[in-house]
């Protein structure tokens, strides 16, 4: 079945491409999903990119239980207020009602900082640089596959430090050297690094940093967050240490997470009307060879040549689509929909002429390549695809970044063509709320370091304290 | 604090080594644990070994939700009977009571086979060869770190096949080529592959295969299981397919799992009175360099030489213990307790003589090695440690395998020295129950293929249908 066109109905396009490419499907419990093998392989590649960088920056993995006694959640006031309405609660286990209900973690600051209280005594025990890969649950009323699901998979880093400066530095290091690299170099998604406004901060954070990307429907997606938590959790859970001056001091915290939502970002950044377009660094299948034949004799020759070719492409993720009951045209669509970066068509006439046809998903342009040169050309095409997808996405984002002069213009631009709106902002919650009310746009990010722009606040006209980037968002 | 001796109090030894080596610790919710970085790095190495082999045998990873509507669990009668008493139940979420309670997966056959019903129509859709890495929950009344915890981490494979033969072959392939290889080649734990007696089968299985290992306290540990499920789950969840004869047929199933319990197996197979002994293939730190110095001048020289040495050992997991506030003797104990396979001591006199002292954890024997030869000697020592731990464990197991002539002798041998007891068994549940009642031993495994032994059943004296291996077990 043909996909809906993105311009006609982007949500329908998204839903269909996730379904037809067999990435994921809804499951029985409200808002949960099955991540199918093709979708999970994309997630595994993202995981590897993130995990490698987490370890390269000196962090270790560990694992905390997913059940958190309810009373723990209650200790940090903002945190409980933020998460209590979303949690799932276990009240019965082992055939009995529990004396105390258990919350299924919506995030793990509470149980981790309660434990850190036992691990930290002196500055010598610091920093703690830990991360876990885990499932978390936040009850969602309007779930969407990958983007917003009741249960999702993520990593959550939780670090403890001697000083505020060191903790802030950590949260920015993660933002730039772990997340931004994974997004830009592996997922080929250009991102803006920034700071959230107070109303968009993580419950309990002093500062929330974010990476924001622009999807093909001109809505923004928050790609991850990295929080500087100050001493809030250390205070709530009693994590103090003997500092270098011989005094007791509360530890400084960060936390940071990137989730399966990133898979949704890959789909919505690169996909087109024919389906997915996957960056080679992520693609479960980088090269598909489609053998073309009519007779049994041709079949034998072409399949043998396909296998030789696959051997020559060693080190790449190559699939030969040797299904006998399907026509080449069907197979082309099948792999196009699944976003495989390079297709190779190989038929008897190609073999006679010692060539093959190479078709990059990025351009769709067919090229006949002599067999001896095919290996090099495939690798070049993959490199070009990785860079090309990034460049396409960056150009698209830059074309959809505007500096409206007033709220009316901003409203118009948000409706058509949509994108990031850069304006001055006075810093007041009232002005922020007014924009949201009138346009549905929210502040996606402020500059990492506050830097007042020249113009006034787009709402009240008072002098601006920050340049805000607004957008409609997922 | 010194560890308890294994022979004096093995459970106390286990508890202390897990604590002092910072592998894991109990957490707040009943029976849950925090897996600390050093313990988690061991689990990550096991995961990699298992995951690589799962993929190499043609399987793909995916992910199913952890919440299962209660009614799904109820469809397979034996399955619900086996697991219902152990499940944790979510009754409230998003601030409201749920219309239908959700079970936190104790294992995922139910939700997976309910989904397979939609994925399987024809024999062309088969086999499904899927696996997931996940957390599961089974309420435990007597939890023990790694061995039996309320929440644990594991992989669970769930495959669907056209024929019974193919499914049986799959379950045995996993047993031998995934699990046995991971146990013997990576964890250095010798295992017996076998079949469970009907009373020890997984609820809903036709046949349960197992790997069984012997711990240093002469108790057996079930290392993993691989189940042939016949058509039980296909029937309960309606997974039928059009077969090659054009008829509707129920699919044949397997499932198989290996959990964080394996970390407990590593500890209890190799550990000695001084602490852990880790196989190099698993060890988070394979080589520790302990610099020895008194003066600042010596410190500078020795640390520089240590770093050069670490560079030469590239590709190995090397740690330099350059902590200034601790004595060498303390550091030796620290890393011995943590089971690091090779220690290198390097002091000013060593440097003058252009040598270092190498101490394998396996033997504890100090050897002075000229610096130019050190790289090769370290690699040799690691190879020897990997093989040596396996050979030690195999010799220990073989020394603790007996063929008692009657139940009285078996009871005596189980008490002292303990181990595997090989006897004839008539196949009756009564005789199996009688042994358990009198000796607490259970049948750990039967031969994979039934092969009646020469002697009679050790209990009733009737002719034996199987050779049973009994042991006290975790």
pLDDT at position A398: 98
Domain count, chain B: 3
DSSP label of A315: T
Does residue A4 lie in a domain region? Answer: no
Q: Say what the pTM is.
A: 0.97
- Is residue A416 packed enough to be buried (19+ CB in 10 Å), middle (13-18) or exposed (0-12)? exposed
Tokens linked to B464? 């034996």
Task: Say if residue B1's pLDDT is above 80.
Answer: no
Nearest chain B CA: its distance from A219 CA (Å): 27
Tell me how far apart the alpha carbons of residues A395 and B34 are, in angstroms, rounded to a whole number: 46
The mean predicted confidence, pLDDT, of chain A is 97
Q: Inspect the interface and report whether the beta carbons of B151 and A65 lie closer than 8 Å.
A: yes
Tell me how far apart the alpha carbons of residues B159 and A424 are, in angstroms, rounded to a whole number: 57
Q: What average pLDDT does this structure show over B47-70? A: 98
Q: What average pLDDT does this structure show over B396-405? A: 97
Domain boundary among B334, B351, B384: B384
Model confidence over B413-463: pLDDT tens digits?
Answer: 999 999 999 999 999 999 999 999 999 999 999 999 988 898 899 999 999
Tell me how far apart the alpha carbons of residues B14 and B2 are, in angstroms, rounded to a whole number: 13
User: Are B463 and B370 found together in one domain?
Assistant: no
Question: HSE on the CB side for A55, CA within 13 Å?
Answer: 12
Q: Inspect the interface and report whether the beta carbons of B111 and A28 lie closer than 8 Å.
A: yes
Q: What average pLDDT does this structure show over B80-97? A: 93
Q: How many helices (H) and strands (E) does chain B have?
A: 15, 23
Query: Cβ(B174)–Cβ(B271) under 8 Å?
Result: no
Smallest CA–CA distance from A138 into chain B, residue: B94
Task: Say if residue B239's pLDDT is above 90.
Answer: yes
Q: Inspect the interface and report whether the beta carbons of B102 and A150 lie closer than 8 Å.
A: no
Q: Inspect the interface and report whether the beta carbons of B67 and A150 lie closer than 8 Å.
A: yes
DSSP label of A319: E
Q: Which of A29, A32, A59 to mutate to test the interface with B (most CBs of B within 10 A)?
A: A29
pLDDT at position A91: 97
Beta bridge partners of B134: B154
Q: Which of B63, B71, B86, B112 to mutate to test the interface with A (most CBs of A within 10 A)?
A: B63
User: Are A197 and A308 found together in one domain?
Assistant: no
Task: Say if residue A77's pLDDT is above 90.
Answer: no
User: Are B294 and B428 found together in one domain?
Assistant: no
DSSP label of A353: T
Chain B residues with beta carbon closer than 8 angstroms to that of A30:
93
Model confidence over B26-53: pLDDT tens digits?
Answer: 999 999 999 999 999 999 999 999 999 9
Model confidence over B104-163: pLDDT tens digits?
Answer: 999 999 999 999 999 999 999 999 999 999 999 999 889 999 999 999 999 999 999 999
- Is residue A408 packed enough to be buried (19+ CB in 10 Å), middle (13-18) or exposed (0-12)? exposed
Percent share of chain B, pLDDT over 90: 95
Q: Which of B65, B85, B130 sits opposite A95 (nearest CB)?
A: B85
Residue B66: φ, ψ to 5°: -85, -15
Task: Say if residue A99's pLDDT is above 80.
Answer: yes
pLDDT at position B105: 97
Does residue B278 lie in a domain region? Answer: no
Task: Say if residue A80's pLDDT is above 90.
Answer: no
Nearest chain A CA: its distance from B134 CA (Å): 8
Task: Say if residue B467's pLDDT is above 80.
Answer: yes
Tell me how far apart the alpha carbons of residues B183 and B206 are, in angstroms, rounded to a whole number: 25
Q: What is the CATH number of the domain that holds B307?
A: 3.40.50.800
Does residue A196 lie in a domain region? Answer: yes
Tokens linked to B296? 């600042």
Tell me the ipTM for this assembly: 0.97
Query: Cβ(A350)–Cβ(A357) under 8 Å?
Result: yes
Tell me how far apart the alpha carbons of residues B168 and B163 are, in angstroms, rounded to a whole number: 9
Q: Inspect the interface and report whether the beta carbons of A29 and B95 lie closer than 8 Å.
A: no
Nearest chain A CA: its distance from B176 CA (Å): 24
Q: Inspect the interface and report whether the beta carbons of B86 and A68 lie closer than 8 Å.
A: no
pLDDT at position A343: 98
User: Are A331 and A264 found together in one domain?
Assistant: no
Does residue A278 lie in a domain region? Answer: no
For B392, other C-beta atoms within 10 Å of its C-beta total 17
Q: Which of A101, A139, A151 sits opposite B66 (nearest CB)?
A: A151
User: Are A339 and A259 found together in one domain?
Assistant: no
Model confidence over A23-72: pLDDT tens digits?
Answer: 999 999 999 999 999 999 999 999 999 999 999 999 999 999 999 999 99
Beta bridge partners of A230: A253
Task: Map residue B388 onto helix, strand or coil.
Answer: helix
Tell me how far apart the alpha carbons of residues A425 and A455 are, in angstroms, rounded to a whole number: 9
Does residue B280 lie in a domain region? Answer: no
Tell me how far apart the alpha carbons of residues A153 and A264 are, in angstroms, rounded to a whole number: 13
pLDDT at position B357: 97
Q: Inspect the interface and report whether the beta carbons of A89 and B92 lie closer than 8 Å.
A: yes
Q: What average pLDDT does this structure show over A435-454? A: 94
User: Are A253 and A218 found together in one domain?
Assistant: yes
Nearest chain A CA: its distance from B201 CA (Å): 21
Task: Say if residue A473's pLDDT is above 80.
Answer: yes
For A372, left (φ over 0), alpha (ψ -120 to 50), or beta? alpha
Chain B residues with beta carbon closer than 8 angstroms to that of A43:
63
Tell me how far apart the alpha carbons of residues A332 and A309 are, in angstroms, rounded to a whole number: 18
Model confidence over A137-181: pLDDT tens digits?
Answer: 999 889 999 999 999 999 999 999 999 999 999 999 999 999 999
At B277, is the pLDDT very low, low, confident or very high (cuts 50, 70, 90)? very high
pLDDT at position A141: 87
Chain A residues with beta carbon closer than 8 angstroms to that of B34:
62-65, 115
Q: Inspect the interface and report whether the beta carbons of B130 and A37 lie closer than 8 Å.
A: yes
Helix axes B261-270, B371-399, angle to 10 degrees: 100
Q: How many CB pairs under 8 A join A and B?
A: 156
Query: Cβ(A283)–Cβ(A188) under 8 Å?
Result: no
Q: What is the CATH number of the domain that holds A421?
A: 3.30.110.30
Beta strands A128-137; A60-61: pairing state: parallel
Q: What is the CATH number of the domain that holds B174?
A: 3.30.930.10
Cα angle A277-B58-B278, degrees, rounded to a multiple of 5: 110
pLDDT at position B110: 96
Model confidence over B278-322: pLDDT tens digits?
Answer: 999 999 999 999 999 999 999 999 999 999 999 999 999 999 999
Nearest chain A CA: its distance from B131 CA (Å): 9
Does residue A385 lie in a domain region? Answer: no
The mean predicted confidence, pLDDT, of chain B is 97
User: Are A47 and A92 found together in one domain?
Assistant: yes
User: Are B224 and B368 found together in one domain?
Assistant: no
**CA nearest B343: which of B370, B327, B363?**
B363
User: Are A353 and A322 found together in one domain?
Assistant: yes
Tokens linked to A440? 């549905």
Q: How many helices (H) and strands (E) does chain A have?
A: 15, 23
Which position has the token pair 């970390």? B263
Domain boundary among A228, A245, A270: A270
User: Are B369 and B291 found together in one domain?
Assistant: yes
pLDDT at position B455: 87
User: Are B434 and B373 found together in one domain?
Assistant: no
Chain B residues with beta carbon closer than 8 angstroms to that of A66:
135, 151
Chain B residues with beta carbon closer than 8 angstroms to that of A115:
25, 27, 34
User: Are B317 and B352 found together in one domain?
Assistant: yes
At B79, is the pLDDT very low, low, confident or very high (cuts 50, 70, 90)? confident
Chain B residues with beta carbon closer than 8 angstroms to that of A135:
66, 134-135
Does residue B396 lie in a domain region? Answer: no
pLDDT at position A385: 98
Model confidence over A254-276: pLDDT tens digits?
Answer: 999 999 999 999 999 999 999 99
Residue B461: φ, ψ to 5°: 80, -5
Chain B residues with beta carbon closer than 8 angstroms to that of A111:
27-28
Beta bridge partners of B131: B61, B157
At A1, is the pLDDT very low, low, confident or very high (cuts 50, 70, 90)? confident
Tell me how far apart the alpha carbons of residues A435 and A438 are, in angstroms, rounded to a whole number: 5
Model confidence over A368-422: pLDDT tens digits?
Answer: 999 999 999 999 999 999 999 999 999 999 999 999 999 999 999 999 999 999 9
Domain boundaries, position B253: 10-270
Domain boundary among B204, B235, B270: B270
Query: Cβ(B326)–Cβ(B358) under 8 Å?
Result: no
Does residue B2 lie in a domain region? Answer: no
């Amino acid at each position: 079945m043909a996909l809906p066109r993105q311009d006609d109905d982007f949500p329908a396009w998204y839903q269909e491409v996730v379904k037809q490419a067999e990435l994921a499907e809804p499951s029985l419990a409200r808002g949960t999903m099955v991540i199918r093998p093709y979708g999970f392989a994309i997630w595994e590649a993202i995981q590897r990119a993130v995990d490698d960088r987490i370890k390269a920056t000196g962090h270790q993995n560990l694992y905390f239980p997913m059940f958190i006694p309810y009373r723990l959640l209650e200790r940090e006031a903002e945190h409980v207020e933020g998460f209590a309405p979303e949690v799932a609660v276990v009240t019965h286990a082992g055939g009995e009602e529990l004396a105390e209900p258990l919350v299924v973690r919506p995030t793990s600051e509470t149980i981790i900082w309660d434990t850190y209280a036992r691990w930290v005594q002196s500055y010598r025990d610091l920093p703690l640089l830990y991360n876990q890969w885990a499932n978390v649950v936040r009850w969602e009323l309007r779930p969407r596959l990958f983007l917003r699901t009741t249960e999702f998979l993520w990593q959550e880093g939780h670090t403890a430090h001697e000083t505020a400066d060191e903790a802030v530095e950590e949260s920015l290091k993660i933002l730039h050297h772990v997340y931004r690299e994974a997004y830009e170099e592996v997922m080929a998604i250009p991102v803006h690094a920034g700071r959230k406004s107070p109303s968009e901060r993580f419950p309990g954070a002093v500062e929330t940093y974010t990476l924001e990307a622009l999807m093909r429907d001109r809505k923004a997606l928050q790609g991850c967050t990295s929080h500087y938590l100050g001493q809030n959790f250390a205070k709530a859970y009693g994590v103090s240490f003997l500092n270098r001056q011989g005094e007791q001091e509360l530890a400084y915290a960060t936390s940071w997470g990137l989730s399966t939502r990133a898979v949704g970002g890959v789909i919505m950044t690169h996909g087109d009307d024919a389906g997915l377009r996957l960056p080679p660094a992520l693609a479960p299948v980088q090269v598909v060879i489609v053998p073309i034949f009519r007779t049994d004799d041709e079949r034998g020759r072409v399949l043998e040549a396909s296998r030789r070719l696959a051997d020559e492409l060693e080190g790449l993720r190559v699939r030969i689509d040797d299904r006998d009951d399907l026509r080449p045209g069907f197979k082309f669509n099948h792999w196009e929909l699944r976003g495989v970066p390079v297709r190779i068509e190989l038929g008897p006439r190609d073999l006679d002429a010692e060539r093959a046809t190479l078709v990059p998903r990025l351009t769709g342009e067919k090229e006949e390549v002599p067999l001896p040169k095919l290996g090099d050309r495939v690798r070049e095409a993959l490199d070009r695809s990785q860079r090309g997808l990034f460049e396409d996405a960056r150009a698209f984002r830059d074309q959809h970044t505007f500096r409206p002069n007033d709220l009316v213009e901003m409203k118009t631009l948000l409706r058509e063509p949509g994108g990031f709106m850069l304006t001055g902002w006075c810093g007041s919650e009232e002005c922020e709320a007014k924009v949201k009310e009138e346009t549905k746009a929210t502040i996606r990010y402020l500059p990492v370091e506050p830097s007042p722009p020249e113009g006034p606040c787009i709402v009240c006209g008072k002098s601006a304290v920050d340049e805000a980037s607004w957008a409609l968002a997922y």
